[in-house]
Structure 1
Amino acid sequence: MSAIRVTDLTKTFGRRPALAGLSLEIGEGEMVALIGASGSGKSTLMRIVAGLELGDQGSRVEILGRPMQQNGMLGSRARELRREIGVVFQQFNLVARLSVMTNVLTGLLGRIPRWRGTLGLFRKAEKDLARQALRRVGIEATLWQRASTLSGGQQQRAAIARTLVQRSRILLADEPIASLDPSSARRVMDTIAEINRLDGITAVVSLHQVEYARRYCRRTIALRDGRIVFDGPSQALSNAFLRELYGTASEELILPDGPAEPARAERPTDRIAAPPAVLAST
């Protein structure tokens, strides 16, 4: 079963098209990089897949085989499907004055009675789950600190821990390492890759840094002007190819050449073949 299927997705802001008839399919357990220059439509696509934004008439988005939205309207089970999608943003979206523990526990709000969430009444088993999630991302020692005291990399890992507590089956990470130093960026990408590998969670990671796509994801989807212009093996993303693909915008995406590491190994049961590379005309 597909984790995500998008069909004829169009989104227009005023007279400006952000997405233009985009279709794609991502299988369960894949870890896919989404790349493209600023304004290419990456964040808009992520928000629509997450059910935070509506596509235009004629668009359809399915999550785990069920309709999230169609023809500019949310599906009847959209609220239920949102629970299956954890979203990590560039700016972390933590409440600075609250403890790391409380921020992570907010991942449960869609799965517990609203009155308990409003009053912040979490059970011991739920707190143990949050502690376990923080241990998995390597920052358990910070659980009672205010979120504002964490470094950028630690805050992003706390945001990932929140998605673990949510027990989501899909992780959408929108520029999760854009504001981080290289060391913190690697730790965050290692964490996402480990969750994908061990838990089988489908991960879609929007990146400007193409070298991270090459190293961590077997498959990359590239957008330009709201259209898919590449969908194939990340190792095919040579600098020369990217310059041809993106023209003058390629300088925004390419890191210096270096030894390419193979994408992190998938579990034996997650052998989803990447589609062939496609270079579309625009």
Structure 2
Amino acid sequence: MTAISVSNLSKRYGKTRALDNVSIDVQLGEMVALIGASGSGKSTLIRHIAGLEAGDGETGKVVVLGQVSQTAGRLMRGRTAGRVAVIFQQFNLVGRLSVLTNVLIGNLGRVPRWRGTLGLFSRSEKEKAETALARVGIPQVATQRSSTLSGGQQQRAAIARTLVQEAEILIADEPISALDPSSARRVMDVLATINTQDNITVLVSLHQVEYARRYCKRTIAMRDGRVVYDGPSTSLSNTFLAELYGDASEELVLPESPAELLRALPVRPNSHDPVHMLA
């Protein structure tokens, strides 16, 4: 089954054409990078795939896990509830609650509403949340208020919440853009690990192409609301990016040379590795 299928999707905000007849497919189990300079349409496309916005016109269609989530400008809500998780640059944790409670919120789609409202989670649910925190490398912060965590830790807690949710697709919108390089690598490690070990489909929007080259076999590049490249990440040389984006390509390339960056980045885990624990 195709995990995500977008066909002929367009969106306009006033005079700005944010999406221009976009069509992409993401297969089950893939980890795909979505790149583009500011204003290219990445976040708009992600919001449409996540069911947060509806496209324009009568031809646009989004199918997620075999279910039509929007068509002809209408959202079909509830079709993939719980099966798709979205994480954002802002983390979206409740700062006054403990990290463990924030992770437990991933259960809300499966437990009775009254239990979720009162925060009454079972021992097995709490153990599952603790295991999720261990998998993303931050078991020691379970009892801390989430507001006390660093940005990288908060993003990993948000990913742990998706593990508790048991989502089949994880959509990440610029999850590392606000993080320092060390924290960004840890977050990308976590995404790569759950992709390979749990077969969770990952679509990750990235502002820096080096991470796409390192962690994703396939990259979709957008410019001015259109898909301008869809293929192997290894083909995205700096020269090719300059051809695609002109001066805007400087937004997508880290100041380090590719060789220096690759030495700094950890080796991506594969499906035969043990559970990847992160410090």
Asked whether the two chains share a fold, i.e. TM above 0.5, the reply is yes
Q: SS at the partner of 2:12?
A: strand
Unaligned runs of 5+ in 1: 269-282
Corresponding letter in the other structure for 1:59: G
Give the stretch that moved more between structures: 56-65 or 227-236: 56-65
Distance in 2 separating the partners of 1:116 and 1:199: 28
Give the stretch that moved more between structures: 254-263 or 182-191: 254-263
Corresponding letter in the other structure for 2:74: M
Alpha-carbon deviations, 1:60-100, whole Å to 9, x = none?
A: 0001111011111122xx32403111111001010111100
Alpha-carbon deviations, 1:192-214, whole Å to 9, x = none?
A: 00000000000011001110000
Answer whether contact 1:50 1:82 (CA < 8 A) is retained.
no
Which residue is 2:104 aligned to? Answer: 105
Alpha-carbon deviations, 1:126-160, whole Å to 9, x = none?
A: 11111110010011110110000001110000000
Which residue is 1:276 aligned to? Answer: none
Shift of 1:257: 2.6
Which residue is 1:213 aligned to? Answer: 212
Shift of 1:14: 2.1
Which residue is 1:70 aligned to? Answer: 71
Note closer, same or farther for the CA distance 1:266–1:135 as it changes in structure 2 (3 Å cut).
closer
Corresponding letter in the other structure for 1:106: I
Alpha-carbon deviations, 1:153-180, whole Å to 9, x = none?
A: 1000000000000000001111111011
Alignment of 1:192-271 (within 5 A): 192-255=191-254, 256-259=256-259, 264=268, 267=271
1:41 aligns with 2:21: no
Distance in 2 separating the partners of 1:52 and 1:84: 15
Which residue is 1:87 aligned to? Answer: 86
Distance in 2 separating the partners of 1:38 and 1:89: 16
Distance in 1 separating the partners of 2:149 and 2:267: 29
Distance in 1 separating the partners of 2:133 and 2:271: 23
Aligned pairs, number: 266
Q: SS at the partner of 2:44?
A: helix
What's the TM-score, normalizing by structure 1? 0.91
Answer whether contact 1:51 1:82 (CA < 8 A) is retained.
no
Distance in 2 separating the partners of 1:11 and 1:104: 33
Note closer, same or farther for the CA distance 1:263–1:225 as it changes in structure 2 (3 Å cut).
farther
Answer whether contact 1:216 1:263 (CA < 8 A) is retained.
no
How many percent identity over aligned positions?
Answer: 63
Corresponding letter in the other structure for 1:179: A
Q: SS at the partner of 1:162?
A: helix
Answer whether contact 1:174 1:205 (CA < 8 A) is retained.
yes
Which residue is 1:277 aligned to? Answer: none
Distance in 2 separating the partners of 1:55 and 1:170: 21
Alignment of 1:97-246 (within 5 A): 97-246=96-245
Shift of 1:112: 1.6
Which residue is 2:276 aligned to? Answer: none
Distance in 2 separating the partners of 1:188 and 1:265: 13
Note closer, same or farther for the CA distance 1:14–1:65 as it changes in structure 2 (3 Å cut).
same
Q: SS at the partner of 1:69?
A: strand
Give the stretch that moved more between structures: 100-109 or 215-224: 100-109
Distance in 2 separating the partners of 1:139 and 1:265: 18
Corresponding letter in the other structure for 1:23: S
Distance in 2 separating the partners of 1:250 and 1:116: 49
Which residue is 1:96 aligned to? Answer: 95
Alpha-carbon deviations, 1:197-237, whole Å to 9, x = none?
A: 00000001100111000000000000001100000000000
Distance in 2 separating the partners of 1:136 and 1:79: 29
Answer whether contact 2:31 2:195 (CA < 8 A) is retained.
yes
Corresponding letter in the other structure for 1:72: G
Q: SS at the partner of 2:80?
A: helix
Give the stretch that moved more between structures: 258-267 or 169-178: 258-267
Q: SS at the partner of 1:82?
A: coil
Distance in 2 separating the partners of 1:72 and 1:88: 24
Which residue is 2:52 aligned to? Answer: 52
What's the TM-score, normalizing by structure 2? 0.92
